[in-house]
Amino acid sequence: MYLGDLMEKAECGQFSILSFLLQESQTTVKAVMEETGFSKATLTKYVTLLNDKALDSGLELTIHSEDENLRLSIGAA
């Protein structure tokens, strides 16, 4: 059994993105799409949800999206 099996679809998707970015803190949108199988629209939605959850929870975690690149920042920037 995988951890993702215990989550709702959206949560599992967000977990997949975050897990990938923890390994590759700076990457391309295309690389994340290939790794996860998500469309660009789904990837964008999940990144927005992750950033919103982090902000609401007071976590110092942000996924930056610039020019088809994604970058994970953890802690004070």
Which pLDDT belongs to residue 25?
A: 86
The per-residue pLDDT for range 28-62, each reduced to its tens digit, is 999 999 999 999 999 999 999 999 999 999 999 99
Rounded Cα gap, residues 17 and 38, in angstroms:
10
User: Domains in the chain, start-ordered, CATH in brackets?
Assistant: 3-74 (1.10.10.10)
* 39-47 own/partner pairs: CB under 8 Å, 24+ apart: 42/13, 43/17, 46/10, 46/13, 46/14, 46/17, 47/17
Which pLDDT belongs to residue 77?
A: 55
Which pLDDT belongs to residue 1?
A: 55
Dihedral of the CA atoms 22, 24, 18, 20 (nearest 10)? -110
